[in-house]
Amino acid sequence: MGDPVLKPWSLCEEEMETSAVEPQALPSIELDAEGWGGASLRKWPTIPKISPYWALGGLVASISWCMWGYIRSGRQGLSSGDTMVVFSLLVVSAVVMAISGLMRRVALQRMVEAIRRGLTIDRETGKQVQSSELGVVWRAVEEHSANIQRRLAELADAHGQASLELTLAAAQRRLSSIIFSAMPDPLMVLDSYGQLIQANTAAENVFGFQCEESLRSPIDSIIVHDEMRKLIRQSREAEQRVAERRAEFLVGDKFYGVHVIPLALGVKAAEGASDHGLIVNLRDITREREASRKKSEFVAHVAHELRTPLSSIRAYVEMLVDGEAADEATRREYYDIIQTSAQRLGRLIDNMLNISRIEAGTVRINKEPIAISMVVKEACDVMRPSAEEKKITLTEQLTPVMFRILADRDLLYQAILNLISNAVKYTPEGGEVVVRMSPREEQKTILIEVQDTGVGIPKEDLPRMFQKFFRVEANKNMAKGTGLGLNLVKSIVESVHGGQITLASEIGKGSTFGMIFPLMS
């Protein structure tokens, strides 16, 4: 190749040690057999090696000649010949010194130029240096440079890795903080001095403080809730392994389950500090408590409702056994009462079972396309005798059989029957009950209304009408009932058939219960 090559120079060995070369800019260069570094370097003449010590030799020789001439003259001084010789030796020494200095500068320049040449040559090929004096030095420089480059690359890698880890850690910290803040349950973290070190938005809202302003403040100065403060104090004073505490408090208008968990620190930081921090976690249990209250209420209701017919059965059976019914008519009367009570018991149990099965999703539902007017007619026919008994006009306005819904026939029948039965029960003699069907083709639904001219329902009771065991106080004497019928109707319409229930009522004027079902297309 036509690239310049370098000639080795022994004179430059010392200078090479002090040459400053940028490590990352050092490529390999190639030397020719003679060691010349290319055409442009050949302008430098080959200079014989002249050591500066030669000048020292000349100096020593001139001093020796001087002393010898002085002795030889019997200490009378130097002869003119000796003076000439000494002078000549000194001149020669000075010349040698000058030449030596010049050569060193030339050598240094050659070396610098050679290195510069090397730096601009063969960057792409990166070939190895041939054996030569410069080659050895060059290889060492190159190795050093490669080492530095490798180290730099490693450092760059490590730096990249560290930056990445730092970014990840920061992202994780941000994420944790977002999750912590977004937790719906109030959370607070306290240090071993009982000072707040972190709290989420839910905790701020419950206890009415600002986390940023309250950081590092004693928890007693942040929370005014006495029971809560006491619980935290107990946890702080206890040893770490027994510091966990649970309690339930009313904070504001909500019930909270409080869980205080010790945060391991290992050692006691100082006097007055405990050996652990605390995590205080609150969980809103208002609904759970309400549900459990309702459950207890339900059980009490059920027990009460069952006890009434049961007591009646027991009492009349005892009277029969004791022979208190003297004549056939009285016995018949007792039998009727026992039968009615047993039927009521059966109804109660059936209704409760149906409701709980629907709520638990264990009821067997057999949905099929049903001409809904047929079921409505069937229920009206069943209720007609009771209506006639009370001189109530029961009329039905049915739709053609083509309107069909996907429904469980038995449950649907049960719901319609309950509504018509209630309408008859709570309508005084001579009243009117209308069962009306109105298809609403735009919405692809059908509305079945049971309208009566009965006693009506007080406005304030309307929202509770579909609750279990709810009975309107004023209507209780009108008919016997369980307070479960409407709840069952709601479950059948909404939970089983995806429909909707409606109610409008006015005291003294009557009520209209409605059921909306999706029509089959």
3-state DSSP call for residue 450? Answer: strand
Q: Does 352 bind ligand ADP (CB under 6 A)?
A: no
Count of residues in contact with ligand ADP, rule CB under 6 A: 21
* DSSP string covering 1-20: --S------GGGHHHHHH--
User: Minimum distance from CB of 399 to ligand ADP (Å)?
Assistant: 22
Which residue lies nearer to ligand ADP by CB, 142 or 396?
396
Asked if 432 and 420 count as a contact pair (C-beta separation under 8 A), the reply is no
Residues 6+ apart with CB under 8 A from 455: 426, 427, 428, 474, 475, 478, 507, 508, 510
User: Minimum distance from CB of 434 to ligand ADP (Å)?
Assistant: 12
Q: Which one of the spans 33-41, 279-287, 304-312, 418-426 is the region binding ligand ADP (CB under 6 A)?
A: 418-426
Looking at 192, 281, 414, 422, which residue binds ligand ADP (CB under 6 A)? 422
Q: Does 454 bind ligand ADP (CB under 6 A)?
A: yes
User: Minimum distance from CB of 186 to ligand ADP (Å)?
Assistant: 40
Q: Does 258 bind ligand ADP (CB under 6 A)?
A: no
**CA angle 324–326–331, rounded 5-degree value:** 85
Which residue lies nearer to ligand ADP by CB, 14 or 388?
388
Q: Does 417 bind ligand ADP (CB under 6 A)?
A: no
User: Minimum distance from CB of 357 to ligand ADP (Å)?
Assistant: 17
Which residue lies nearer to ligand ADP by CB, 400 or 508?
508
Asked if 447 and 514 count as a contact pair (C-beta separation under 8 A), the reply is yes
Asked if 26 and 118 count as a contact pair (C-beta separation under 8 A), the reply is yes
Q: Does 130 bind ligand ADP (CB under 6 A)?
A: no
Q: Does 281 bind ligand ADP (CB under 6 A)?
A: no
Report how far apart, in Å, the C-alpha atoms of 397 and of each of 83, 340, 375, 415, 435 are: 157, 33, 13, 18, 6
Nearest residue to 383 (alpha-carbon basis) of 337, 341, 347, 418 = 418
Q: Does 344 bind ligand ADP (CB under 6 A)?
A: no
Helix (H) or strand (E) holding 259: strand 254-264
Q: Which two tokens stand for residue 490?
A: 């709601």
Q: Does 452 bind ligand ADP (CB under 6 A)?
A: yes
Helix 372-389 with 409-425: angle, nearest 10 deg: 30
Q: Which residue is nearest to ligand ADP (CB)?
A: 481
Looking at 482, 492, 501, 516, which residue binds ligand ADP (CB under 6 A)? 482
3-state DSSP call for residue 162? Answer: helix
Q: Does 453 bind ligand ADP (CB under 6 A)?
A: no
User: Minimum distance from CB of 511 to ligand ADP (Å)?
Assistant: 4
Residues 6+ apart with CB under 8 A from 266: 275
Q: Does 431 bind ligand ADP (CB under 6 A)?
A: no
Q: Does 117 bind ligand ADP (CB under 6 A)?
A: no
Point out which residues bind ligand ADP (CB under 6 A): 418, 422-423, 426, 452, 454-455, 457, 465, 470-472, 475, 481-487, 511
